Amino acid sequence: MHIARTGRGVAASAAATAALVAAALATTSQAGVTLAAPAAVPHTKAVPAIAGHTLVHGVASPLSSEQCQAKWHINCYNPLQYRTAYNLNPLYRKGITGKGRTIVIVDSFGSPTVQHDLDVYSRQFGLPSTKVKVVKWGHVPAFDPKNSDMTGWAGETTLDVEMAHAVAPGAKIVLVETAVSETEGTTGLPEMMSAEKHLIDQGVGDVITQSFGATENTFPGFNRGDFSSIKKLRYAFQAANRKHVTVLASSGDGGATDMKADGKHYYDKRVNSWPSSDPLVTSIGGTQLHLNDKGDRVKPDSVYNDYGAGGGGQSHVFTRPGFQDGVKNIVGTRRGTPDVSMAAAVNGGAWIYSSYDPTATGWDVTGGTSEASPLFSGIIALADQAAGHRLGNINAALYNLAKHRNTGVVDVNDGTNNSYEGVTGYKAVKGYDMATGVGTVDALHFVNALAAASHHS
């Protein structure tokens, strides 16, 4: 999730904050965006969760939070701060870096500069880099930096790769770049699912992160109560479940609502998005971190709600899965999202480096649940290594760990909420809620507890 991206908005380094915010609000779009087809053909389009949200773009070098506050009135964080905030450093000292594990990232089009950008990012913060293995699925067209769809996905690709690497520097990264075509009313999603299924069948990948989605209501047949257009896309997740591959997805950036099929307007009611709403997927929501320059918390995490809000609520397609029976007083008879949350607020966004757009090469401050999902994919890679095997579907273990103390599940309960665009959302309260799920994680304890839980499952 970017705000006011150069070339699509206002350049942060050259504009007043008021202009930035105005541009940001004018260009905001969230995970689960869908765009309408001509002639009113039912048309569901997977759009990157990052689309339309960059507050700071093309800066020569990363700044401290104090400098970001002075310049843009936001906090901005680097991976070294995240490592402290999520208590990752003790794991690294024990050799738990994700070594021997593979994170699969799925994005349409990809980025032609992803390896170079990761190398620059890693060098800036003293991290070892890693080779990104790129798999092209279908006829992926040549990258055009003037094509806003392509640059949107390139931004998402950059964010996904750099955030996953920030948390699991020893893990291998496989980036699947998919072609995009319209298939039976859905655009992009069939290619993504077939690519995921292929890699799962080939034994490639221990965890898959998906920073994209589409509002359930926009799928063909939804208004008639026919959910087959979603359910026939689940085959990749069913294969992942069989092969013990963990599947994650961003919960969205529209709070309790999300985009209509025109890609410009929000529903005036509570809606949810797929694949985050799928019970075979772990839905990753968003928090706002409050850190000092060392990465220590100055106050507890809040719900992400600034230039977007952490997606959450009841699915209108899926009923409550067994792993949520313990929170049925919250989710009712439906699948509730998110399951767990990571950093996503733009005020408290992450520095990333990109050069795919030659007119705006440099450092960006980025947020959204499109950041949270790859961050959590790194956590899963660490836990896979600690366990010595794939954890697979973690949802049952996650909810079980949340019932116990000292498991690394950290409740987010400060009373903030994910109300957005006039639609009342959900408050962060004690225990599970549809603002942040079970909360967030202290990685040192969570990784070890999740690995141990997998031995008993």
Q: Contact 385/101 with Cβ under 8 angstroms?
A: yes
Domain locations along the chain: 12-456
Write down the pLDDT at residue 425.
98
Is the omega angle on the peptide bond into residue 42 within 30 degrees of 0, that is, cis?
no
Three-state secondary structure along the chain?
CCECCCCCCCCHHHCCHHHHHHHHHHHCCCCECCCCCHHHCCCEECEECCCCEEEEEEECCCCCHHHHHHHHCCCEECHHHHHHHCCCHHHHHCCCCCCCCEEEEEEECCCCCHHHHHHHHHHHCCCCCCCEEEEEECCCCCCCCCCHHHHHHHHHHHHHHHHHHHHCCCCEEEEEEECCCEECCEECHHHHHHHHHHHHHCCCCCEEEECEEEEHHHCCCHHHCCCHHHHCCCHHHHHHHHHCCEEEEECCCECCCCECCCCCCECCCCCCEECCCCCCCEEEEEEECCECCCCCECCCCEECECCCECCCEEEEEEECCHHHHHHHHHHCCEEEECCEEEECCCCCEEEEEECCCCCCCEEEEECCHHHHHHHHHHHHHHHHHHHCCCCCCCHHHHHHHCCCCCCCEECCCCCCECCECCECCCECCCCCECCCECCEECHHHHHHHHHHHHHHC
Task: Read off the pTM.
Answer: 0.91
Burial profile 375-399: b = 16 or more Cβ within 10 angstroms, e = fewer: bbbbbbbbbbbbbeebbbbbbebbb
Q: How far apart are CA 410 and CA 404, in angstroms?
A: 11
Q: Contact 344/105 with Cβ under 8 angstroms?
A: no
CATH architecture of 12-456: 3-Layer(aba) Sandwich (3.40)
Q: How far apart are CA 449 and CA 261, in angstroms?
A: 41
Per-residue pLDDT of the chain (457 residues; tens, 9 = 90+): 433 222 222 223 222 222 233 233 232 333 332 222 233 333 577 766 654 456 677 789 999 999 999 999 999 999 999 999 999 999 999 999 999 999 999 999 999 999 999 999 999 999 999 999 999 999 999 999 999 999 999 999 999 999 999 999 999 999 999 998 655 457 889 999 999 999 999 999 999 999 999 999 999 999 999 999 999 999 999 999 999 999 999 999 999 999 998 888 999 999 999 999 999 999 999 999 999 999 999 999 999 999 999 999 999 999 999 999 999 999 999 999 999 999 999 999 999 999 999 999 999 999 999 999 999 999 999 999 999 999 999 999 999 999 999 999 999 999 999 999 999 999 999 999 999 999 999 999 999 999 999 865 4
* Phi then psi dihedrals of residue 195, to 5 deg: -65, -45
Write down the pLDDT at residue 54.
60
Write down the pLDDT at residue 20.
30
Write down the pLDDT at residue 123.
98
If we measure between CA atoms, which residue out of 357, 366, 340, 305 comes closest to residue 446? Answer: 340
